[in-house]
Structure 1
Amino acid sequence: MAKLSFLAGFGAGYVLGARAGRERYEQIRRAWEQAKDDPRLQSIAGMAQAKADDAVSTLKAQLGSEPPR
C-alpha cells in the first residue's frame, strides 16, 4: 500500500510539475511533505487502512467459505 501511495504521489507531482514548471513543482512537493506529516492525515489514513484490511479479510473469508465449483 505504501508503494502505491508513493507512486501516486510521485506521478501526480511529476505531471503537475512538468506542466507548471519547476517552481510550481517545488511548491506542490513542499505541500505534500507538510500534508503527509500532518497527524490528522495520518489518523485518517490509518482508519482507511484498517477498513480496507477488514474488507479484504471479510472478502477472503467469504470466498474461502464458498463451495468449489
Structure 2
Amino acid sequence: MKTSSKLALVVGLAAGYVLGARAGRERYDQIAAGAKSVWNSGPVQKQVDNVQGLTGKYVPKAVESSFRGLGKLVSGLVSKILGSGSKSSASKNRASKAPEAPAGTVPNPA
C-alpha cells in the first residue's frame, strides 16, 4: 500500500470518527429512550413478572437437584479414588506416616 493511500485511509477514519462521535451520542440517547419505553410498557412488564414467577418457582429446585447430583458424583469419585475402605491396618498406618527424608537432606519436620 502506498504512503498516500495509507494517509488517506487514516484521514478518512479520523474524519469518520469525529463526525460519528458528534451524531453518535444523540442517536444513542434516542435508541436508549426507545428501549426504555418498550421495557416499561405494560405487556413487556407482564411477561417480566411471569418469567420472574417461574424462575422463583423452578430455579431453586433445579439448583438443589444439580447440587445433589454433583454431591453423588463427587462421593462416587472419592470412594473410587480412596477405595472401599478394605485396606489393611498396615497399609493405613503407612499412608498416614510421613515419608522419611533421603540421606544427606534436612529431616522432614512432619
Q: What is the root-mean-square deviation in Å for CA atoms of aligned residues? A: 2.6
Structure having the higher helix fraction is: 1
Q: Would you say 1:59 and 2:77 are equivalent positions? A: no
Determine what percentage of the aligned residue pairs are the same residue: 24
Q: Deviations over 1:11-33 (max 9, x none)?
A: xxxxxxx7x71121011111022
Q: Would you say 1:45 and 2:48 are equivalent positions? A: yes
Q: Which has the larger radius of gyration?
A: 2
Q: Which has the higher relative contact order, 1 or 2, with Cα contacts under 8 A spaced 6 or more apart? A: 1
Offset at residue 36 of structure 1 (A): 2.0
Equivalent in 27, 31, 47 of residue 30 of structure 2? 27
SS at match of 1:21: helix
Task: Give the TM-score taking structure 1 as reference length.
Answer: 0.53
Task: Give the TM-score taking structure 2 as reference length.
Answer: 0.36
Q: Deviations over 1:6-54 (max 9, x none)?
A: xxxxxxxxxxxx7x71121011111022112201100011111111222
Which consecutive aligned stretches of 4+ in structure 1 deviate over 3 angstroms post-superposition?
Answer: 63-66
- Structure 1 segments unaligned to the other structure (5+ residues): 1-17
Aligned length: 51
